Amino acid sequence: MRIAWDKNSTIKQNMKAMGLAYDSNKLFPLEQSISKHCEEMEIDELKPYGSIKSQMLKTKSTVNKSKIAKVITALEKEAEEEKIKQKKGRSYRLLARDIEFCIYMIEKHGGDYEKMSRDARNIYQDTSKQIERKIRIFTQSPEYSKYLKITSQMA
């Protein structure tokens, strides 16, 4: 195409010279009449179908009903999954070093989080609130129940 292209001619002229179509719509014109595709009907035959508006409303209502049904089923399914998640509850997991840290702090300081924050074993320099949160998570974890069993056996 580059070799046959004439820089002095227009795009249309160049395309024609190469035997290519510039406008495909002129090559394959669209049929303008719809009457070939439609059947002729008498007015009396149309009465059972109702007006165009009523036909449009019927189709819209059936489409809307199916969409609404899909949305409702999706929402119900989502709500059911959420209920299952809430019933399970949240399972807390801590690292082994955090578990050891919490056990040490509880045994040494009890519930005094300020003392825990100043303890030498608090190498990450957690604040009292951070330690409180960490211990709360520990008490809600399955490891805490294991810890309680072990301490009750030792006592």
- The parts of the chain modelled with pLDDT lower than 70 are 1, 30-39, 41, 43, 46-49, 60-64, 67-68, 89-90
Q: Which residue range forms the structural domain that includes residue 111?
A: 96-154
HEC sequence for 93-154: CCCHHHHHHHHHHHHHHCCCHHHHHHCCCCCCCCCHHHHHHHHHHHHHCHHHHHHHHHHHHH
Residue 62 lies in a domain: no
Domain assignment present for residue 60? The answer is no
Number of structural domains (the chain) is 2
Question: For position 86, what pLDDT does the model report?
Answer: 76
Q: Does residue 64 lie in a domain region? A: no
Position 40 in a domain: no
